[in-house]
Amino acid sequence: MNHDIADPSLAEAGALRIEWAEGRMPVLASIRERFEKESPLQGLRIAACLHVTSETANLMTTLRAGGAEAMLCASNPLSTQDDVAAALVADGIAVFAVRGEDNDSYYSHLREVLDADPQITMDDGADLVTMVLKERPDQRLVGSTEETTTGVIRLRAMEADGVIRFPVIAVNDSATKHLFDNRHGTGQSAMDGIIRSTNLLIAGKTVVVVGFGDCGAGVAARADGLGAKVVVVEVDAVRALSAAMEGYTVATADEAARIGDIFITLTGNLRVLRGEHFELMKDGVVLANAGHFDVELDLGYLADHSVGKRRIRHELDEWTMKDGRRIHVVAEGRLVNLGAAEGHPAEVMDMSFANQALAAEWLAKDGADLENKVLRLPDSIDQEVAAIALEAIGGGLEQLTPEQEEYLSSWEFGT
């Protein structure tokens, strides 16, 4: 455990932020209340590798309320909120994470939580599960859960290679996760990170969104709402067409590179903006990545082809190219919403983490009978989570009449 983060004043600040988030997480609160009565996770050790935020802290305390011993390491070296880590440590939850840690420390923290011999792991990006499968053939898990798109893609590749030896729940595949967290969470918090680090006016700027999946669609909508001219770069024709019909300009990366002021990558793919694009960009552009890994912007090219780099603002580096053009990179090309802002708001993490808590309960109850595959949570859980979240934001839910139910299940349409 990192005893150096057990600082009382930091812990107090973290506890207040955790409390603020807690008040905006009604679905998790209802699960916590039930967990306190039923103890469905009694006797289990759960190791989570998630962004260490005030929202994640509320998931950790919910797992503990269910009877688990919950421990946490970071899923990105730059996403740890040290005040939250300190508050959790003060509250008796083991945390292995420090903001800005180097790669060696990041991986040694993963090893430390696995050394505690957990029965369930929770990942955001599949790093823990990859370590178990690659390095620990004797480690027996009841199962594992996965939070993000890139993690699920990695897991499906492992499944295709036949190496998965316990059930893994793809929480990202639940509608109440990706339709809200990826879209509305990333949409708001990625723009928040760019604004906090640059304080640029978005209105009138050309904002290039690379990747128009759930995350990209969310960022495009928020940039549009702030008055930007939105340009979308996509490799999937259906998604590119969908962006065009939303009213955005759709262009190749080369075309977009020439006209963009701010670029945001959200593809989960490698070097989507690279040297050939950087060479076409205007002086003063801002580059940010919100995809899971820091591989979407080819920062190696900037290191090799620039004449200097300086930190010009909080989480903003200015690279000067040989021809004098300046290229700005937010949060070292790591997840901009967590590196330069506070991550998604609690209201969306509520649903994501409600799904995580229910996935842990499912594994605890039925893990031994589940197939050693990548699995989705049942649709009924989506309905349950959405209904509580809807009630919390004041929406009314219409009910089918018995006559309508019968009509929808019959062949006799239109009569």
- Which of 251, 249, 252 has its CA nearest to residue 228? 249
* Contact set with ligand ADE (CB under 6 A): 50-51, 53, 55-56, 185, 338, 343-344, 349
Q: Which one of ligand NAD, ligand ADE, none is in contact with 58 (Cβ closer than 5 to 8 A by kind)?
A: none
How many CB atoms neighbour CB 351 within 10 A?
25
Minimal distance in Å, beta carbon 171 to ligand NAD?
Answer: 11
Minimal distance in Å, beta carbon 56 to ligand ADE?
Answer: 5
Among 12, 236, 283, 405, binds ligand NAD (CB under 6 A): 236
Q: Which is nearer to ligand NAD, 130 or 139 (CB)?
A: 130
Q: Which is nearer to ligand ADE, 266 or 349 (CB)?
A: 349
Minimal distance in Å, beta carbon 388 to ligand NAD?
Answer: 22
CA distance 218 to 195: 16
Residue 313 is classified by DSSP as E
Q: Which is nearer to ligand ADE, 147 or 298 (CB)?
A: 147
Per the structure block, which two tokens stand in for 364?
């605890």
Contact map string, positions 274 to 313, toward ligand NAD, x by CB under 6 A: ----------------xxx---------------------
Minimal distance in Å, beta carbon 121 to ligand ADE?
Answer: 16
* Chain center to CA of 150: 9
Minimal distance in Å, beta carbon 21 to ligand ADE?
Answer: 8
Residue 273 is classified by DSSP as B
CA distances in angstroms from 183 to 22, 271, 289, 342, 385, listed in the order given: 22, 22, 15, 16, 17
Q: Which one of ligand ADE, ligand NAD, none is in contact with 211 (Cβ closer than 5 to 8 A by kind)?
A: ligand NAD
Asked if 205 and 286 touch (Cβ cutoff 8 Å), the reply is no
Does position 333 bind ligand NAD by CB under 6 A? no
Does position 210 bind ligand NAD by CB under 6 A? yes
**Angle, CA 400 vertex, CA 381 and CA 394 arms, to 5°:** 60
Q: Which one of ligand ADE, ligand NAD, none is in contact with 268 (Cβ closer than 5 to 8 A by kind)?
A: ligand NAD
Position 93: which residue type?
I
Three state DSSP letters for 187-206: HHHHHHHHHHHHCCCCCCCE
- Which of 365, 371, 353 has its CA nearest to residue 171? 353
> In the chain, what is the straight-line distance between the N-terminal and C-terminal CA atoms, in Å?
68
Q: Which is nearer to ligand NAD, 46 or 295 (CB)?
A: 295
How many CB atoms neighbour CB 162 within 10 A?
8
Does position 235 bind ligand NAD by CB under 6 A? yes
Which residues in this chain contact ligand NAD in the complex, by CB under 6 A? 148-150, 178, 182, 186, 210-216, 233-236, 239, 266-269, 272, 290-292, 335, 337
